[in-house]
A = this chain, B = another copy of it.
Amino acid sequence: MADRAPPPTRADFRMVRRIPTRWMDNDHYGHVNNVTYYSYFDTAVNGWLMEATATDIRELPAIGIVAETSCRFLQELSFPDEIHAGLACEKLGTSSVIYRVGLFRGDDNGACAVGRFVHVYIDAVTRQVVAMPEAIRTAVAGLPGCA
């Protein structure tokens, strides 16, 4: 479980979004609850996809559903911290993408959390796995790691 490697830095990601914490993100222990970090991932990936494709991705014939996620928590956050979120591409498949997500506390250069986020594309009606929309493939192909 020990992870002695230095945390990833901003240079490892395309910085895509600022996400201010909310008062209720803090839990009983006075720091941002672990669950909430995943809402930052979710928002960073989908918000960036909407901007990068200039499309409401929720209306495309194929939608990305989440097959797997993970997060290593490297440093505590607390309201009113602002998070800077970055994305990179670990693997771009035909019907799936594996993103790496880096979260940074304000202007810090070292990540406070690092995650993986796997989207699989399914037909919005039949729910069968299908190839991802071309606009999404093009956007992801430009991220660090794929580019």
- Which chain B residues lie closer than 8 Å to A58 at the CB level? 28-30
- A118→B22 CA distance, assembly (Å): 18
Known contacts A67-B72, A68-B70, A70-B71, A46 near B23 by CB under 8 Å: yes
Number of copies: 4
Whole-angstrom distance between the Cβ of A129 and the nearest chain B Cβ: 10
Which A residues have a C-beta under 8 Å from some C-beta of B? 1, 18-20, 22-24, 26-31, 33-36, 38-40, 42-43, 46-47, 50, 58, 63, 65-73, 76, 79-80, 93, 96, 98, 116, 118, 120
- Which chain B residues lie closer than 8 Å to A33 at the CB level? 23-24, 42
* Among all A-B residue pairs, the 9 with the closest Cβ atoms: A70-B70, A34-B66, A26-B28, A35-B38, A22-B43, A23-B42, A24-B33, A23-B46, A35-B39
